[in-house]
Amino acid sequence: MSLQVPLMIVHGGAWSIPNEMEQDHIRGTYKAIAQVYPELLSGEIDAEEAVVRAISILENDETFDAGKGSFLNLKGQVEMDASIMNGTTMKCGAVCAIQNVRNPIRIAQRVMNQTEHVLLVGENALEFAKSTCKSEEEHKELFVESVEQLLTTRELEFLESIRNNEEFTSRTVFESKIDSHPPPSKKGTVGCVALDLNGNICAGTSTGGTPKKCKFSRNSIKKFNKLKVPGRSGDTGIVGSGTYADSSVGGASSTGWGESIMKIQMTGTVVKWLEFHNTPTLPKTASIYSHLNFESSSNIQHDAAQKTNMNKEQVAIETIIEYLDQKVNGLGGLIFLSKEGKYAVSHNTDKMSFAFVPHDTINKETGHFEVVSIVSRKKGC
């Protein structure tokens, strides 16, 4: 396929999204693409800017576990992680456990473009971010004045509901049967991969983490009682786990139980696998978790029978999710966009929220395009 148009895909997390929360996820991911894609299509912005703008919109939407609306740690603080990678320059930037910023993805972009480093953490990342501000206005745009501005009542109530629940671990939020746990709070890490008119691919991911960031043994550091331990960061801020891009292959953004995703370095592994093994084959034993056909906007379907028709990108994404499941008992999902403009998505959580612009709906001359925004279900869910 010759690439004549830019493309983009976003996700709003992979977990057991309750039916009544699906519409908010569909609306939120739709909006992020609908607002950003026209400028990507016209060439006004490149892939990197599209990723930063789309993720900022998702961070500002309380539906998602990123920016405002993030899960809280045991101290009731919002600590966020984000990463971005430009697949052309291979530059990347990330922040972990950062507080008091509206859009962590914008700080990750500054780490990428204004330092020689890849990852800045905690208070010093915040200090760096402040030092990059050139005006009072920019400062106001980037930072909140008080912690309360990122807190939601919903998350405070949720924290109290799980505070003393011994059974609740960081994996719990991604498991099925969410009804049997404390009332779910809306959440879902966000991510984006974009391909611009010049063939540049950029990927980014942003999160407020999980509500229980670490499971301590009973005898250790009792005061934290297994809840989200302040200072915990997952895969999202780690380049190669949460985010990876290489314009000669494709870009990927992951979501799910970070402790498992980090162990298999999910996004980096899948992109490198496609680079080194150009024609991957699905292991015979593999399950098909959520096969989606992206060839046509009117033909999005889950169909394990189409196994043999899967494009190589979908095979790679299915295989890495299988690996996540088998190797580390992991839970999560992944979006991918190749340099040829092929989308691929898979997840082994019950559901995953994502949106994309189907190739066959785009008319560069008229500026027309459509957005497909869905909550995908794992087979049998």
CB of 247 or CB of 348, closer to ligand ASP:
348
Main-chain dihedrals φ then ψ at residue 376, nearest 5 degrees? -80, 145
Residue from 24, 59, 65, 246 in contact with ligand ASP (CB under 6 A): 65
Is 15 assigned to a binding site?
A: no
**Which residue minimizes CB distance to ligand ASP?**
258
Is 234 assigned to a binding site?
A: yes
Report the nearest approach of ligand ASP to the CB of residue 170 (Å).
Answer: 7
Is 233 assigned to a binding site?
A: yes
Report the nearest approach of ligand ASP to the CB of residue 294 (Å).
Answer: 22
Residue 258 found at the interface with ligand ASP (CB under 6 A) = yes
Residue type, 313: E
Residue 155 found at the interface with ligand ASP (CB under 6 A) = no
Residue 268 found at the interface with ligand ASP (CB under 6 A) = no
Residue 358 found at the interface with ligand ASP (CB under 6 A) = no
Main-chain dihedrals φ then ψ at residue 306, nearest 5 degrees? -85, 10
- The DSSP secondary-structure symbol of 136 reads H
Q: At what angle do helices 266-276 and 312-328 cross, to 10 degrees?
A: 130
Helix (H) or strand (E) holding 297: none
Is 235 assigned to a binding site?
A: yes
Report the nearest approach of ligand ASP to the CB of residue 279 (Å).
Answer: 30
Residue 64 near residue 186, CB atoms below 8 Å: yes
Within residues 291-320, the interface with ligand ASP by CB under 6 A covers none
Residue 61 found at the interface with ligand ASP (CB under 6 A) = no
Is 122 assigned to a binding site?
A: no
Give the integer Cα–Cα distance in Å for 358 and 171.
Answer: 33
Give the integer Cα–Cα distance in Å for 326 and 214.
Answer: 22
What is the DSSP pairing of strand 351-356 with strand 372-377? antiparallel
Is the C-alpha dihedral spanning 133, 135, 141, 145 positive or negative? positive
Residue 247 found at the interface with ligand ASP (CB under 6 A) = no
Within residues 170-189, the interface with ligand ASP by CB under 6 A covers 189
Number of residues that bind ligand ASP (CB under 6 A): 12
Catalytic residue among 63, 169, 172, 189: 189
Residue 235 found at the interface with ligand ASP (CB under 6 A) = yes
Residue 322 found at the interface with ligand ASP (CB under 6 A) = no
- Let me know if 115 is a catalytic residue: no
Residue 129 near residue 142, CB atoms below 8 Å: yes
Mapped onto helix, strand or coil, the DSSP state of residue 307 is helix
CB within 8 Å of 303: residues ≥ 6 apart: 291, 293
Is the C-alpha dihedral spanning 351, 106, 66, 55 positive or negative? negative
Catalytic residues: 189
Given the rule CB under 6 A, which residues bind ligand ASP? 13, 65, 189, 207, 209-210, 234-236, 255-256, 258
Binding residue numbers for substrate: 232-235, 255-258
Binding residue numbers: 232-235, 255-258
